[in-house]
Amino acid sequence: METVQSKAATMTLRSITLMLPGELLNQLQSLVADRPDALNQLIVRAIERELQHRQRMSQPQVFWTKVDSIRAQMETEGIEVNPDEIWGDVRDRAIGREIVL
């Protein structure tokens, strides 16, 4: 007699198979046929990865927010950077290498 868990696993497998390409589906079915516990492990891993993905995507994009705030601060404060002061002695000044900024 089929348990509730195995019924749920079978239903989940059916919904997963609708999204898989043929070759991958065949590999998955052969894996599950050889090891009955593999289906449960597969479902648990898929759910965990989906939860991790959703959690990662729901977090605010802090990096670009900070970059934008630094750029805005530089614009409002009028910070000017002279490239020759900073990188003047680093550049190759050989013939044909003149760089005008």
DSSP assignment of the chain equals: ---HHHHHHHHHHHHHHTTS-HHHHHHHHHHHHH-HHHHHHHHHHHHHHHHHHHHHHHS--HHHHHHHHHHHHHHHHT----HHHHHTTTS--STT-----
Number of domains in the chain: 1
Task: Find the domain containing 6 and state its range.
Answer: 1-101
Confidence of residue 12 (pLDDT cuts 50, 70, 90): low
pTM of the model: 0.34
> What is residue 60's predicted lDDT score, i.e. its pLDDT?
76
Tens of pLDDT, residues 35-75? 767 777 777 788 888 888 888 888 777 888 888 888 888 77
